[in-house]
Structures are given as C-alpha cells and as structure tokens.
Amino acid sequence: MKIKYLLATVLLIGSLIGNSQDKRSAFVDNLISQMTLEEKVGQMNLYNGFFDATGPVPDNQDTKNKYNQIKNGEVGAMLNVKTVKEIKALQQLAVENSRLGIPMLFGFDVIHGHKISGPIPLAESASWDLEAIEKAAAYAAMEAAAVGINWTFAPMVDIGRDARWGRNMEGAGEDTYLGTKIAAARVKGFQGDDLSDPNTIAACAKHFAAYGFAEAGREYNTTDMGLSTLYNVILPPFQAAVDAGVATFMNGFNEINGIPVTGDPWLQRDILKGQWGFDGFVVSDWGSIGEMVAHSYAKDNKTAAKIGANAGSDMDMEAYVYINHLKELVEEGEVKESVLDDAVSRILKVKYDLGLFDDPYLYCDEEKEKSMAVSQEVKDGALDMAKKSIVLLKNDGVLPLSKTSKNVAVIGQIAASKTSVLGSWRLGADDNSAVSVLEGLKPYLGDNMKYERGVEVWSGTEAFAQELKINEDNTDGIDEAVKLAKSSDVVIVVAGEHGYQSGEGRSRADIRLPGLQRKMLKKICAVNSNVVLVLTNGRPLDLSWEDANIPAILETWQLGAMSGHAIAEVLFGEHNPSGKLPMTFPREVGQVPLYYNQKSTGRGGAKDMVFWSHYSDVPNTGLYPFGHGLSYTKYDYSGLSITQQGNTFTVSVNVTNSGKRDGHEVVQLYIRDKYASVTRPIKELKGFEKVFIKAGETQTVQFTLDDTTLGFYNNQGTYIVEDGDFEVMVGGDSVNTQNGAFTRG
C-alpha cells in the first residue's frame, strides 16, 4: 500500500491515540509491519550520489544496480547529491517506483555554511558567541535545505588536543565545557524547533567517539585513552548533542580499547541508546563498518555486517555490507530481525519528523534554491560570524591601521586567493567564491597598497581529495617581496595554511608555517619593522619565531566567503577583535598534545632540580594559552567575590574597559578541584560570558557554580560531586586570572 494511504489510515488511528510521539510511533510501527526483509535492509543502506539522475538510465552495471535498488526501495538515503533537480529526480525514483514509496534522506557535509561558505567551525568556536554560532548553523541549514538537502553530517563534536591533527578545524577545540555549549548551539541551529520546517535539517553529532584522540595526531590512527578521559573529556559534548535533540549520530573510523567504535555495542547501545536515551539513528562513517576487516577485527565483510548491526550501527554509509549480507545474516539467525526493526524504526522516525512522509518533495523548491544561492542575509551572517571569530594574538601598537595609511605592502599568495580561505569542508561552495584579503583591503587602501605574491606556497590542483603540492625549495618571489617591503611604511603579510592543508586526511607533523613562508618573513622583517602577520590556518601553529619578531599577529583561521571584508574591518579598527583561542598554541610541536586543562601529575611545578614533569629545552606552557585573545582596548579585572548558599556558589567579578574603544570581552571562569576520588585537572573552564563594555565603563559579571558544574565522572561513568576545597580563577584567558577559593561541604 502506498505511503499516502498508509498515512491516512494511521493518522486516523493516530487521531484516536494521544500525542504526536504516539502518532509517529503508530505510523512507523505500522509501516514496519508492512515491510519485507529486503525493504528493511534497504532503509539501512546509504549510497553516495553517483549519476546524473536527470539523465538517461545509467548503463554501467554498478550504477545500474544502484538505480534499480533505489526503484525497489532498497536505498534509505543518499549523500553528496547537489541540486534540487537531482534530488527530486532520485526521490521520485524511490517514492514513485518502490512498493511502499518510502522517501529517502539526502545527506551532505554542511560543515560551515553551504554555497556561501562561513568560517570553519574552529574559527566560529573562537568567537565564544553561542548565539552567533547557532545562527550560523541556522543559515547553513537554510542554504542546504534550499538545494534539497535534509540531513547534515555536522556538528563534529570531537575534542581535539593535538595540533597535528587536521580535523581540529572542524570542531570546537580542546575544552569539554566549551565543546558541550557549542555542540548544543550547532544542533539547535541546524534543527531549529521543528524538523518539519523546510528551512531546518537533521543534524548529526560525530564522530562517536574519540576520533580526535588519534595517536600522534595522525589521521585515522589508533586512539587509546583511559576511562576517566573518555567520560570527562570526550563524551560530554556528545551527550550535550543528545540533550539538544540531535536527530542522528555518526560513529567513526577509530577504535577504543581495541574495539572499532562502529562495532562497539557498549558505546552505541549501552551508553548512547541506553544511558543517554538517544532515540535517533547512528550512521557509520564512510565505509567504517567494512573497515573492521582492515582493523583485523572482522574476518570478512559478512562478519563486519553482523558486528555492525548487532553493535547499533543503524545505517551503512558506502561499505555495501548491509545491502550485501544483512538479509542472509537474518535468515541464518546471526542477526535478529528485531535488530533491523529497531534500526529501521529510528531511521523512519527521522524521516517522519522531517515531514517527508507528508511531502517527499518538501525540500525540492527550485525557486528557493536560486534565491538562497545569493542570499544577502546569509552573506551578512557569514561576515558577522567571521569578524567575531578573529583573534588578535599580539599587538605592539601597530594595529589598528589608519584608514589614511599610505604606502602599504600586501604580501602573500594567500592574500590573493579566493579559494584557500574557504577552508576544506566546503563541498557546497564554488572555488573562487571568497572575497580575498586583497579585495577586502582595496576599499580602504585603493592605490595606497601594492601587492607582491612573494614566495609560492602551493601550486597545482587545489582539490578536496588531493594532496596539495607545497613549495619547499623555490625561493622565487622573495626578493620582489623584500624590495616592496623595504620601500613601504607598513607590510601586511598574509601567511599560513591553504584551506586544503587542514581538514580530513590532512595531519601535519611540522606545524610551522608551511613551505618557505617563514624564510620570506625573516627577510621582510629584516628590512621593515612595521609588519602585520595575518594568519589563515585550520589548527594551532608553532609561531615561536613569528611571536618573537613580528609586532602584530592576527589569527583569522579560514573565514569563508566573506574573509576579505572581515579581516579588513578588523585591521582598520572598524571591528574591535574579541575572539579567544579555543585551542592552546604550542611553542614547539614536540610539546603536543598540549592543552590547558592538564593534570598536575605527582611532580608538577618548576623545581630547582630535574626531577619534575618538564622538558629541558622548552617550557611546559603554550606560546598562546587557551582562551587568549587581545583587543584594541584593555580590560581590567577586580573585586572577585564568592558567596555561598548551600552547595551553590556565586562568583562575581568586576570588569573595566580601561581603554578608549568599546568592545566585547569573553569573561572566563575556571575551577580547580584540589583533591577528589579521581585526579582532576589543574583548571577547568566552567563558565564564560561574552559581555559588551563601553570604553571607561565597568560591568559586574556573575557565575553560578553548583552540582552541575562542580562534579566529574568516576571510572564507572557515574557523575559525582564531592565535598572538598576548590580554587576559582576568573579572567580574559586561562592564565591571567583573579583567584579565589571555597570549600564545599
């Protein structure tokens, strides 16, 4: 029976039943009762887009096979299909040809904007502005929904502590508390209050779990951590996504304690679906179920399918193991049909919530597709987010530049690039769709600026799946850059990583400026002391030389389509920078993984002999600490006070803008639990407030500490709060703080 009739029947039944959840369950249960085993397996099968659906029936066998499977209702979802026309054609193929006409989900990596690329997620996280971050996700959802996409593989909520790992760019950095807040904001932004709203899309918390702890920061490497780190550092942002109502989860390529997460029932069933009550579905990461064979965990693909299904991986992305083996496994009793029923129920509920059973073409509006592609509202949103994401790392007075600056040199291949600053996870955006730094500077400087590319950083193909060719030996261009610098009043050098030097598959063992950029910088600084370094990068870098020799350093990450305008507005003081680092910047890569909330160890603290936890050649601290970010004004902290009401503590501090410019300050609250039944970090972020303070004014900022923030997870995964002594630290970063203390109990 076609869906529409089934729907009418069930809605009739549903009208006799209680609330919308019951109606949804009744509909889904009834639909499942009609489904064959092949159709159930089909719902658990996710294919990548593979042919022009608006064209003739594909003739190569593999594609023809998929085409027929879609028509037979054996494909529950597709990814990477890019236009309304394509998506509508594929949806029609499924809905109008298959026996039950179940609509497909259309997923895409909408990671930071879509056609109009926004700042990379790590940049957004540097804004510490949850409202702006939520809004950015809402714009991304609007853009994606306008092209027919109803499911994004975002937010990535992996905690990242290792600067060598390429996917730091995709997350919220090293801190769990900030990560939980941003996870919830991004989920709410993508999903809104009503998933059936055609401007909202289903979100996907990923990669469950611990993918960011790849050993040595090497992509896809083994991850190995203790239970205390898993429970206290890694899992909370995922649970925050569940609490925010995330519709789907994606697992990962890595293992935990010798078990590939895609085959781990303890993670996916006991914790996620059991303890946390997650009622959505889990999609595997690309091929991860089949990769259990490569992990030497499954003997063959059929065994991998059995392990994955029984472990709670509800949908197979591009491993072809469910479509090829699950029916047989059920018939052989290796996988109970009830396992499929649970997975299919979860998948159908997301489709129901998206409104796809009411209207499978809800997201297929070509007029909306056209208008959203050039939406000024989205562009303005991307610009606003970009400005808020910029972090002023150092400023010895060179910034802001005067708008009447004359004789300005702009140097760097990245400065002219309209592609690099888009970042790497921007498959929906066209190449060359960014406002370059040069284009952003033009309205301010006009003919007062001269440009030199300087040394080549990269050459050849700039593509998502290709290694970028980095120039390590050709010094052409340096002499011209130095000559221009010598004859200029101020030099803006735009340097860093190309957008395709971070992201998936892009770990780096050397986290200094790539190629010969530092070599060029040294020569420029030798002839001009008025240098502003504008960085574009997707991870913390080793900037030790730059910090010691360059008077002004601006961290701009990769800011997406509106990069040039955002950077220019900050350089010329139109926007007072307010970003704060979501990751520690190390002095040397040898310190990595380096993060602020370290354990004290049994031998912390500097001593006048060698037997303490340290390196003989580098300090333990980062070059720029977590939470660091300067402003064109100055904020002074005073009057820290702590009051107690039972086990609730109110922390209050005065923040004075003692400079001449209005600005936003991110006031950060850290605690230290001095002793507990598991060791606790030397400090932990437990609150932050981004406040606007006019020049000369003072604001009092208050935080509350209670059982929700003073506790931790023990090694059994139970959240506990213990009496004891606590230190409190409040400031504009994780190092320069006003300090206090209290005792609980």
Instruction: Give dist(CA 515, CA 616) in Å, integer.
Output: 28
How far from chain centre, in Å, is Cα 275?
Answer: 25
Q: Which is nearer to ligand GLC, 79 or 567 (CB)?
A: 79
Beta carbon of residue 603, minimum distance to ligand GLC (angstroms, whole number): 39
Closest to 233 measured CA to CA, from 526, 604, 599? 599
Q: Which is nearer to ligand GLC, 167 or 580 (CB)?
A: 167
Instruction: Give dist(CA 260, CA 253) in Å, integer.
Output: 7
What's the DSSP call for residue 623? S
Q: Which is nearer to ligand GLC, 206 or 580 (CB)?
A: 206
Number of separate helices (H) and strands (E) present in the chain: 23, 27
Beta carbon of residue 64, minimum distance to ligand GLC (angstroms, whole number): 24
- 132 residue type, one letter: A
The phi, psi pair for 217, rounded to 5°, reads: 65, 15
Residue nearest to ligand GLC (CB): 153
Give the sign of the dihedral formed by CA 257, CA 287, CA 323, CA 111.
positive
The residue behind tokens 């005073």 is 638
Exposed, middle or buried, 450 (CB in 10 Å: 0-12/13-18/19+)? middle
Strands 737-744 and 45-48: unpaired
* Catalytic option among 109, 162, 264, 285: 285
Exposed, middle or buried, 36 (CB in 10 Å: 0-12/13-18/19+)? middle
Beta carbon of residue 231, minimum distance to ligand GLC (angstroms, whole number): 23
**Angle between helical axes of 20-34 and 3-16 (0-180°, round to 10):** 140
**Angle between helical axes of 337-353 and 20-34 (0-180°, round to 10):** 130
Q: Which is nearer to ligand GLC, 289 or 669 (CB)?
A: 289
Catalytic-residue membership of 285: yes
Strands 458-459 and 469-470: antiparallel
In the complex, which residues of this chain contact ligand GLC (CB under 6 A)? 79, 109, 153, 206, 285-286, 504
Q: Which is nearer to ligand GLC, 111 or 126 (CB)?
A: 111
Beta carbon of residue 272, minimum distance to ligand GLC (angstroms, whole number): 17
Beta carbon of residue 318, minimum distance to ligand GLC (angstroms, whole number): 8
Q: Which is nearer to ligand GLC, 79 or 393 (CB)?
A: 79
Instruction: Give dist(CA 184, CA 155) in Å, integer.
Output: 9
Closest to 266 measured CA to CA, from 212, 217, 318, 307? 307
Q: Which is nearer to ligand GLC, 129 or 285 (CB)?
A: 285
The phi, psi pair for 482, rounded to 5°, reads: -65, -40
Identify whether the C-beta of residue 12 lies closer than 8 Å to the C-beta of residue 282: no
Instruction: Give dist(CA 168, CA 124) in Å, integer.
Output: 12
Radius of gyration of the chain (CA): 27
Instruction: Give dist(CA 563, CA 565) in Å, integer.
Output: 6
Identify whether the C-beta of residue 461 lies closer than 8 Å to the C-beta of residue 438: no
Beta carbon of residue 287, minimum distance to ligand GLC (angstroms, whole number): 8
Q: Which is nearer to ligand GLC, 110 or 571 (CB)?
A: 110
- Tell me how many degrees the CA angle 293-296-299 measures, rounded to the nearest 5: 55
**β-sheet bridge partners, residue 726:** 673, 742
Q: Which is nearer to ligand GLC, 157 or 481 (CB)?
A: 157
Beta carbon of residue 109, minimum distance to ligand GLC (angstroms, whole number): 5
Q: Which is nearer to ligand GLC, 134 or 504 (CB)?
A: 504
Beta carbon of residue 339, minimum distance to ligand GLC (angstroms, whole number): 24
Give the C-alpha distances (Å, rounded to integers) separating 737 from 25, 488, 683: 52, 40, 11
The phi, psi pair for 308, rounded to 5°, reads: -60, -50
Q: How many CA atoms does the CB half-sphere of 502 hold within 13 Å?
A: 35
Beta carbon of residue 285, minimum distance to ligand GLC (angstroms, whole number): 5
**b/e burial code for range 626-664 (CB count within 10 A of at least 16 → b):** bbbbbbbbbbebeebebeeeeeebebebebbbebeeebb
Beta carbon of residue 373, minimum distance to ligand GLC (angstroms, whole number): 22
3-state secondary structure of 209: coil
Question: Which residues are tagged catalytic?
Answer: 285
